[in-house]
Amino acid sequence: MDRYDFERALHSAAKTNAENEALIIESYIGVASTGSKAAQQNLFNSINKTFKRNKCPWQGVEFTSTSDVKQQPDGRLWLSKMDANTFGVVFKYLMLNANEANQLLNIGRDDNGIGAGEIMLAYIVENIKIGGGSADTDLELYNEKWSPIKPPSGKCELKEAQISKGMLQNWRTGAKHQGINSDYVPELTALYDAVKYKIKEINPDGDGKDMAASGGWVNEWGTVGGKRFKHIQNLTKTDIQALSSSERDFKIGPGEEDNGALVIKFNDVELGKLSDSKTAEKIKSIIETESSVRTFTEIQNDVISAVGDISTPFLFIESKAQKIVAFHYYKRLPGKTSELQIYSITQGKFKYKIKPNRV
């Protein structure tokens, strides 16, 4: 084969792989939207076209079925429940063909709508359906009648994460946890607002101007310990009270109406006339709000407690260089900062880090 034949062969193989992946993703969407046994079979058949002899690499692999995990004739598994034990068996089964398992892990990785590992688990476990549409979890388990199994053993969130400094990090929670973002991210912004003018590095009128741009301190905070967080995460209640910017923010001056009658402004927003009793009430409310600003430690404690109050199981695929390292399972996320912590805030949402819990 000359160089040109070789290049044509490579081009043909790349085109075939791209077409196969497009077909797999189309099948994946069908599984997510319908959840039917036929859609699941279609996904299985589509993926098999990427393997040698167009069949499942696990077909015929020696495996001893258990009461909760049974091997099917076509090489797939059937689970009676999702928990640490059954996912431990699934992990060991996948690792019997590690190269093919890693290939499955990375199908659709460039598609933001597909979570890493979803296609792999829907492929290797016949009765795992990928959550879609109105589903509030990533994975759903079905029984022999193809009816959903009730939680907790029938539902599970799925996340991919890497270990750094002893913790699985840089991941978001599921749909049931979204209210936590809207409840607590604004509290951190209130903390910043209370001290921003008294800390030189974060003063939006000075050195901190760039950090306040593009959603900084509102939706974009970066990682805990990073360029924003490091200035406020260790502040105590005493520090916050001493640095409170209340005096800096209230201004008295002539208004634009009523012949320049004196008005009160807060953060350059007019509250009302100095002579109006309603203005005094507004000032009182602002001062009370600022005096109730909480420390990062207090806010994080409540965030983690709220996460732990939600009884959703989580499966983590630990990976390194886009290869599977281990599975970690939690019947529910812990509610203690000794085990679970805030990792960062991006797009107005918390990301977390958690202590490993290998199956």
Q: Judge if 165 and 34 occupy the same domain.
A: yes
Q: Does the pLDDT at position 248 exceed 70?
A: no
Structural domains counted in the chain: 3
Q: Does the pLDDT at position 330 exceed 70?
A: yes
Q: Does the pLDDT at position 275 exceed 90?
A: no
* CA-based nearest residue to 124, from 56, 170, 176, 200: 56
Q: What is the DSSP letter of 150?
A: P
The encoded tokens of residue 151 equal 């939680």
Q: Judge if 230 and 319 occupy the same domain.
A: no
Q: Domain residues for 237? A: 177-244+293-310
Q: Judge if 17 and 131 occupy the same domain.
A: yes
Q: Does the pLDDT at position 4 exceed 60?
A: no
pLDDT at position 236: 96
Count of beta carbons in the 10 Å neighbourhood of residue 38: 10
Q: Judge if 48 and 161 occupy the same domain.
A: yes
Q: Judge if 85 and 128 occupy the same domain.
A: yes
pLDDT at position 12: 45
Per-residue pLDDT tens digits for 129-185: 887 544 678 999 999 999 999 999 999 999 999 999 999 999 999 888 889 999 999
Average pLDDT over residues 83-112: 92
Strand partners, 254: 262
pLDDT at position 18: 62
CA distance 279 to 350: 36
Q: Judge if 99 and 29 occupy the same domain.
A: yes
Rg (the chain; Cα; Å): 27
**Helix intervals (H) in the chain:** 3-34, 37-48, 84-94, 98-105, 118-124, 178-195, 237-243, 246-249, 277-291, 296-308
90 falls within a domain: yes
Residues in the chain: 359
Q: pLDDT-derived band of residue 14, with 50, 70 and 90 as boundaries?
A: very low
* Averaged pLDDT score across all residues of the chain: 88
pLDDT at position 11: 44
